[in-house]
A and B are shown apart, each in its own frame.
Chain A
Amino acid sequence: MTTKAAPKKKHINPMNRQSPGDRVISVLTYFIYAIFAFVCAYPFYYIIINSISANNLSERGKVLFLPMEIHFKNYERMVNIPGLMDAAKISLLRTLVGTLLTVLIAAFLGYMFTRDTMWKRKLWFRFVAVTMYFNAGIIPWVLCMRNLGLANNFWGYIFPMIVQPFYIILCKTYCESVPKELQEAAEIDGAGTLRVFWQIMLPVVKPILATIAIFAAVNQWNAFQDNLLLMTNRPDLDTLQYKLWQYITQANSLKALISNTTNSSAIMAGLATAATATSIRMSVTVVVVLPVMLIYPFFQRYFTKGIMIGAVKG
């Protein structure tokens, strides 16, 4: 026994020991995850390099690994794409307004639902929380939103989305972890409920609000269904997501439109920069996906935090 145990002691860290089988698994794992990463990343890369390559090459699928004959005409031409700039404004506006309101409401209601002094507090909390678990279905919802005047109205993007029970619960849990003495001290000094919220609690819950803001912003930016369902008679209220979808399905007619509106010298300049169905599709896609791609690496920890808190609750 002792002779057998002796050589084992040489290995101070058993973590570093790998059997041949383990090594095969290691190599396979690296390889397979490289494929997964490639499958997820390459499509975005492919679209970006094609949107800045010569349009006659991208049209024929020639650009696969590196951009060829780089030009930025496709992006300069964006102002000529009918409706695109208006849609960008709508998308930005709904993201800003929607996120701000969602965050404020989550913080305020989250805090208010911790006030034991409130009349029937538990009942109201349940009244809000239970809405997570049912929905009437899209058509009854649409008919009722029409009755409320939220169809074909910018606020139809905002009001249905700003009271999110899940975010409220997150804030409530967070507020409960803050020592009660903090509030009590402020109240003894004469601060009212609203003042305590604004000056004491809001700064304290900030970390969780950052996570909520990121999720709310991404949801607003990505929203497509409410546009499709509610804004049936107001093309001026269409969002980028909706426009992109239209452009994909009607890229050929768009191309004709743009060729007519650009001055003849641009067309004379050659095929490499002339608009094609592919060039329009790809450059608009880049514009719509870029905000999410740019913020994602920086805010990844907030995203991750979001699912963790969710997991703890679930």
Chain B
Amino acid sequence: MSKRTRSYIEFLYILPFLVLVALVSYYPLYGWVYAFHDYMPPKPISSETFVGLKWFEFIVSNPVRTADVGRVLVNTFAMSGISLAFSWFPMIFAVFLNEIRCKPYKKFVQTVTTLPNFISWVLVFSVAFNVLSSTGAVNTVLVSLGVIEKPIAFLSSKDHVWFRMWLWLTWKNAGWAAIMYLAAITAIDEQMIEAAKVDGATRMQIIWRITIPCLLPTYFVIVMLNLANFLSNGMEQYYVFMNNFNKKSIEVLDLYVYNIATTGRGNYPLSTAISMLKSIVSVALLFITNTVSRLVRGEGFV
């Protein structure tokens, strides 16, 4: 077999998988054409259904829609903003976890706090429902202690939705996110810490002057990734926690595009138009943050 034939044959081996990637990852980009049509399934799109930029204009020309999109953007920015503002939490979690000298205890805490990362949002919701319902553990304890007189309806409350969503996100992810920092801590030069101890530094001083500065490069990457994903909160968490009471403040962009496509008669073109704009802004954000990272750290994360 000649070298040339072999190089083509090797390409043929991977061709089926390239086709699969083209179909499931690239072909959906073609789905953006639905944003330019009056599409009502099951009737397929054709030249007759083409409406140009109608749906994009609709977003800004229809006052109700514009207000809606504005509200959803506020929710998205609030949820992402809170996450960003508290993005240091896993780092601090790791730093103090590392201070625990008792190895089995440390391991236990680590195992238990990382577990929620591996359960689905549906299960998180189920946990929340079981623990927070009117007969759940939290209400039972609070009532029997006399802190409250009657059970609080935590899940159907429309107050502090943004913050509570952050709490659940943190409950699920913080322990897991801390692992990366724990790994970075083990890479810190022991001699530096020994030297500080010999000079009489307290533990807080060591944490503040050595550990945290050594973790900042990792933290920086996390912040950049947070910024790159600023518009992409995903829909699953918000979808499972959504109800009629909190809907107004829980709808983020990813959930909103789902809701407008599935509720009522289902407006697929409008939904597609909004998610198309979102995708374009997201890619732009990725480029910007990656460039910033390259300027600051000398290397990007893409």
Contacts and interface: CB of A to CB of B under 8 A. Distances in A.
Contact of B18 (A46, A127, A278, A282): A127
Given A117-B7, A288-B126, 18 more contacts: A21-B204, A26-B101, A30-B102, A40-B115, A44-B127, A47-B127, A109-B17, A112-B10, A112-B14, A119-B10, A133-B286, A137-B257, A139-B258, A163-B20, A223-B120, A244-B122, A300-B114, A304-B179
B123 A288 contact: yes
A141 interface: yes
A139 B95 CA distance: 41
Interface SS of B by simple majority:
helix
Interface of B: 3, 6-11, 13-14, 17-18, 20-21, 23-32, 34, 41, 93, 96-97, 99-102, 105, 108-109, 111-116, 118-123, 125-127, 129-131, 133, 135-137, 139-141, 171, 175-176, 179-180, 183-184, 194, 197-198, 202-204, 218, 221, 225, 235-236, 239-240, 254, 257-258, 261, 268, 271-272, 275-276, 278-279, 282-283, 286, 301-302
Contacts, number: 260
Given A224-B120, A241-B120, A292-B119, A33 B13 contact: no
Contacts of A26: 99, 101
Contact of B99 (A29, A281, A297): A29
A61 B136 contact: yes
Nearest to B6: A117
Interface in A81-132: 105, 108-109, 112, 115, 117-120, 124, 127-128, 131
A21 B204 CA distance: 9
A218 B116 CA distance: 12
Interface string A186-207: 0000000110000000000000
Q: Which 8 A-B pairs have the closest CB atoms?
A: A140-B31, A137-B275, A61-B135, A222-B120, A136-B28, A61-B140, A131-B25, A118-B10
Contact of A224 (B29, B100, B116, B236): B236
Interface string A7-41: 00000001101110110011001101110110111
B130 A285 contact: yes
B208 to A, nearest CB: 12
B129 A281 contact: yes
Nearest to B258: A138
A19 to B, nearest CB: 6
A173 B213 CA distance: 30
A72 interface: no
Contact of A144 (B30, B120, B135): B30
B13 A61 contact: no
Interface stretch (A174-182, A253-261, A262-270, A306-314): A306-314
A15 B195 CA distance: 11
B123 A285 contact: yes
Contacts of A119: 7-8, 10-11
B13 A112 contact: yes
B276 A225 contact: no
Given A140-B28, A296-B118, A134 B272 contact: no
A244 B10 contact: no
B52 to A, nearest CB: 18
A218 B118 CA distance: 7
Contact of B236 (A32, A59, A225): A225
Given A44-B127, A281-B129, A124 B11 contact: yes
Interface residues of A, number: 94
A50 interface: yes
A143 B100 contact: no
A208 interface: no
B176 to A, nearest CB: 7
A158 to B, nearest CB: 10
A241 B254 CA distance: 20
Interface in A132-159: 133-146, 148, 159
Contacts of B176: 307
Nearest to A156: B24
A138 B129 contact: no
